[in-house]
Structures are given as structure tokens and as C-alpha cells.
Amino acid sequence: MILKPQNLYRSSLYPLVSNKSNSDFSDERRLVSALKKGQEEAFRFLVQRYQKKLFSIAYGIT
């Protein structure tokens, strides 16, 4: 079964953002901003936060 991007978004990625409060989004914006500026700590934190979910998504695609 091949998932179209819109179906993948609805089925797998939506839980990443559906249960977040506004403060979580604010924190993530700051982390992404720091990441774009080259701060490795921000990258490490985001990887630790999402590595299990991202691995599950990637594994499901292959």
C-alpha cells in the first residue's frame, strides 16, 4: 500500500501536534529558531523529543 503525502500527514504526523498547548508550540518555535542559528543543543533536544515517533514513521514508509 502506497500512502499519499496527505494521507501520511493525517495518519502519522497529526499526533505530533494535536495534543500540544500553545506554550509547547512557543518552545518549539524557539528551538527551531536556535537550530537554524546553528545551536547544537537545540538539535539534540528536538532529536531526543521526536526520535521514536520519526523512526516509527520512517520505518512504516519503507
> Tell me: the pLDDT tens digits for 15-25?
444 455 556 66
Residues in contact with 57: Cβ distance below 8 Å, sequence separation at least 6, in sequence order: 8, 12, 13
Closest CA to 34 of 44, 19, 49, 23: 44
Residues in contact with 3: Cβ distance below 8 Å, sequence separation at least 6, in sequence order: 11, 61
The model's pTM is: 0.51
Write out the H or E segment, with its range, that includes residue 36. Answer: helix 22-36
Q: Which amino acid is at 18?
A: S
Tally the residues of the chain: 62
> Tell me: the pLDDT tens digits for 3-62?
444 444 444 444 444 455 556 667 889 999 999 999 999 999 998 999 999 899 888 886
* Structural domain boundaries in the chain: 5-61
